[in-house]
Amino acid sequence: MNNFIELISFNFFQNALWAALLTSLMAGIVGTYIVARRNVFISGGITHASFGGMGIAYFLGLSPILGATVFAIGSALGIEWTSKKAGLREDSAIAIIWSLGMAIGIIFVFLTPGYTPNLMSFLFGDILTVKMIDLFLLAILSCIIILLTVIFYHPILFTAFDSDYAQTVGYKSTLIRYIISIIIALSIVLAIKIMGIILVLSLFTIPPSTANLFSKNFKSIIYISVVISLTGSISGLILAYIFDLPSGATIIFTLTGMYALLRILKYVFEKR
């Protein structure tokens, strides 16, 4: 217990808790959209493509986050655009962007002279090394996302459900979808700091999938996702500290564990 109080008093742990809260808010809302629209694969493409931007940024001595942002937004808009215009099948387009981004990243990291110590943290993330500037960016993006969702809830919901119909009654479907693509890209880039490229998708998909066990209402799924995500990340964080495990991987285990447990409970209670 003393151990725990000591832990909470650490600055890095407080930052980690704040990061968990903010990413849970962000990933709960954005993830609900991603899961509802079945955009999980697209998001995977965006995530991995952003590695290309990181590699180039490393090579040029720029901020990796900046490089990742440019690539993430570029690929998000690219996927949205190709699927509509170029006559290329969407899943193929995603796979191409996915692997091309990774390839660019690997080449530029290889070309960068010297050792790149932070690279591992970008692949697997580390919530315990979150800095003030990361929290600040997370806070701003979370506020923007919450505000947009509250004000434009219906246009977002209607366009996500049936883009064509929304357009026929006068919603700017294409514009709304492009803006949401950019928001998804930004959220992924900021969450990469916490979970890393390889693990980040789980933060956007496991909580909404768990919430979907109990609700088929978009708004409720958002609320439940945020709660599940927060519970999972904080308990994962503590478990990681206790057993001295990597935080990102442990958080995924707790989130998946919660999903499995709740699914079994649901099954048992519905049987009765």
Partner 1 sequence: MSNLLQLKNISAGYEGKTVLREVNLNVNPNDFVGIIGPNGGGKTTLLKVLLELIEPYQGSVVKKDGLRIGYLPQINTIDKKFPISVKEVILSGRHANNWKLGSNKKNAQKIDELLQFVGMNQYKDTAIGDLSGGQMQRIFLCRALISNPHLLILDEPNTYVDKTFEENLYNLLSELNKDMAILLVSHDVGTISSMVKTIACVNGGLHYHESNKITNEVLKSYNCPIEIISHGTVPHRVLKTHKHE
- Residues near partner 1 (CB under 8 A) are 32, 36-38, 87, 154-155, 157-158, 160-162, 164-172, 212, 215-218, 221
Nearer to partner 1, 6 or 162 (CB): 162
Q: Which is nearer to partner 1, 91 or 162 (CB)?
A: 162
DSSP classification of residue 87: -
Q: Could you tell me if 229 and 24 are in contact, meaning their C-beta atoms sit under 8 angstroms apart?
A: yes
Q: How far is the first Cα of the chain from the last one, in angstroms, to the nearest whole number?
A: 39
Cα 164 from Cα 161, distance rounded (Å) = 9
Minimum CB distance to partner 1 smaller for 51 or for 171: 171
For Cα atoms 175, 39, 128, give the angle at the middle one, nearest 5 degrees: 105
Q: How far is the CB of 33 from partner 1 (least distance, A)?
A: 10
1, 55, 86, 88, 213 from 202: Cα distances, Å: 31, 23, 30, 27, 16
- Least distance in Å: CB of 83 to partner 1? 13
Q: Which is nearer to partner 1, 167 or 235 (CB)?
A: 167
Q: Smallest gap, in angstroms, from Cβ of residue 49 to partner 1?
A: 25
**Cβ of residue 181: shortest distance to partner 1, in angstroms?**
18
CA dist 227 and 220 (Å) reads 11
